[in-house]
Amino acid sequence: MIRSIFLFVVLGIGLFVGTQYAGQQGYVLISVAGKTIEMSVTTLVVMVIALLAVLFGIEFLIKKVLNTTTSTWNWFSDRKLKKSRRFTNEGIVKLIEGDWKLAEKKVTRLAKNHDMPLLCYLIASEAALEQGNQQKREHYLSLAAQQKDSTLAVELTKAKQYFKEKNYQAAQKIVTELSTHYPTNPVVLALLKSTYYQLQQWPELLYLLPQLKKRKLIEEDELQKLSVEAHCQQLSKAAEQLNQEGLLEHWNQLSRKTKTQPEILTHYIHLLIKHNEDAQAFKLIKDQLKKQPESLLSALLPELNLEPPQAESAIKQLKDMVQGNEHNAEAQSALGRFYMKQQQWSRAQSCFETALRSRSHISDYRYLAQALEYQNMAQAAHDVSQKALSLASNTAEIK
């Protein structure tokens, strides 16, 4: 367009000058290598304009040919790209459907023509993994690693694949390194949580949980469950490695909030009982029941090996609890078990019957059957035993 305007301007100027100097054409002499060319100024101007027009025309034709060639090349390239994308999409579907071999074939067929070959190679590595071909998997991961900005995607894929193969240590090594460069990446943090759990690295898991909560990467139920399990496992480990002294020391290091969680406190009391620290366990249960009479910890009292004064104190506390709330099933059941130890079968029967009116529990049916048998009430004991068997059967079917 600019060149056309330029030619018209030159022609206009030529016409104007020609009109002004009509009849005064002038004289031009060009001498080159012994040859001379003579012409008027007007002829020279016309020749220059004609030469420019020819040059512009040749340029136009060359560009037209080049554009046609480029368009043709782009058409073939776009066709290959579209075909590669179609194969990749089909390969992803086949991967989901479980046709690993065909998925691998689809995504690798035109991977080099894809606008994101990284995606093709990662999908191919997944397909190779599902086929159990480790060599191919490593090959595809190597090709993926050669792509631009592929580090995070490739390393996360490796970690997930190691985790899937239950090679938790290899997976953890990768995500631990990634966490230094991507400390807020949700996938990295989730994999860290999973590897810590599988490798039973409880201190590390407890340290990570608040970070997951802060970034809203974990539900409250899962957070509570993992926290309780981690603390309980640490208590068990301390008891195994350091005996009761180590257990007490570890317990004292816990926060007050952690100690008051029912599941953790119950687990700790079980460990105390296991290590013959019944007096310490009794003190904890007694203090907790004063704060929460409905606590399930009352069921642990009959399991303790108590001295007579402590046993009487436990019975008195349970009596006070059932007087305050007759429907406290756990307290009724615990009191009934104490009565059975004292061979007070009638009182034990009354406690278990009251407990069962509030909730059905297999152990209470069994204790009630024993109390009835000791009172020579064979038919009633048989009926209660049948109820216990029926409840146990229904529970097993539900599970």
Using a 10 angstrom Cβ sphere, with 0-12 exposed, 13-18 middle and 19 or more buried, the burial of residue 161 is buried
What domain range is 398 assigned to?
309-399
Q: How far apart are the first and last CA of the chain?
A: 83
Q: E strands, 138-257, where?
A: none
What is the tens place of the pLDDT at every residue in 220-234?
Answer: 999 999 999 999 999
Q: Is residue 36 part of a domain?
A: yes
Give the domain-ending residue among 16, 43, 78.
78
Distance (Å, rounded) from C-alpha 145 to C-alpha 155? 9
| pLDDT reading at 395 higher than 70 | no
Nearest to 371 by CA among 323, 320, 332: 332
What is the tens place of the pLDDT at every residue in 160-188?
Answer: 999 999 999 999 999 999 999 999 999 99
| pLDDT reading at 136 higher than 80 | yes
Share of the chain above pLDDT 70, in %: 84
Q: Is residue 215 part of a domain?
A: no
Residue in the block written with tokens 């994101």: 116
| pLDDT reading at 353 higher than 80 | yes
Q: Which of 34-48, 139-153, 169-183 has the lowest mean pLDDT?
A: 34-48
| pLDDT reading at 76 higher than 50 | no
| pLDDT reading at 49 higher than 80 | no
Distance (Å, rounded) from C-alpha 204 to C-alpha 99? 39
Q: Is residue 25 part of a domain?
A: yes
Share of the chain above pLDDT 90, in %: 49
Q: Is residue 272 part of a domain?
A: no
Confidence of residue 197 (pLDDT cuts 50, 70, 90): very high
CB of 109 closer than 8 Å to CB of 125: no
Predicted pLDDT at 182: 94
Give the domain-ending residue among 78, 105, 130.
78
Q: Which residues of 243-254 are buried (b: 16+ CB within 10 A; e: fewer)?
A: ebeebbebbeeb
What is the tens place of the pLDDT at every residue in 247-301?
Answer: 888 999 999 899 988 899 999 999 998 888 898 899 999 888 888 887 888 888 9
Q: DSSP of 241-294, one letter per residue?
A: HHHHHHHHHHHHHS-HHHHT-HHHHHHHHHHHHHTT-HHHHHHHHHHHHHH-TT
Phi first, then psi: what are they for 26, rounded to 5°? 75, -170
What Cα–Cα distance (Å) separates residue 8 from each residue in 4, 56, 286? 6, 13, 108
- Which amino acid belongs to residue 236? S
Q: Is residue 146 part of a domain?
A: no
- pLDDT greater at residue 54 or residue 13: 54
State how many domains the chain has: 2
- Taking residue 158's Cβ as centre, other Cβ atoms within 10 Å add up to 21
Predicted pLDDT at 12: 63
- Total length of the chain: 399
Predicted pLDDT at 268: 93
Nearest to 226 by CA among 253, 273, 178, 261: 261
Q: Which of 36-40, 188-192, 236-240, 360-364 has the lowest mean pLDDT?
A: 36-40
Q: Is residue 177 part of a domain?
A: no
CB of 131 closer than 8 Å to CB of 100: yes
CATH code, 373: 1.25.40.10
| pLDDT reading at 24 higher than 80 | no
CB of 230 closer than 8 Å to CB of 210: no
Confidence of residue 42 (pLDDT cuts 50, 70, 90): low
Q: Is residue 338 part of a domain?
A: yes
Q: Most confidently modeled of 63-72, 332-341, 379-388? A: 332-341
Mean pLDDT of 11-22: 58
Pull the structure tokens for residue 72: 């043709």
Q: Is residue 199 part of a domain?
A: no
Give the domain-ending residue among 78, 95, 118.
78
Predicted pLDDT at 29: 67
Confidence of residue 75 (pLDDT cuts 50, 70, 90): very low
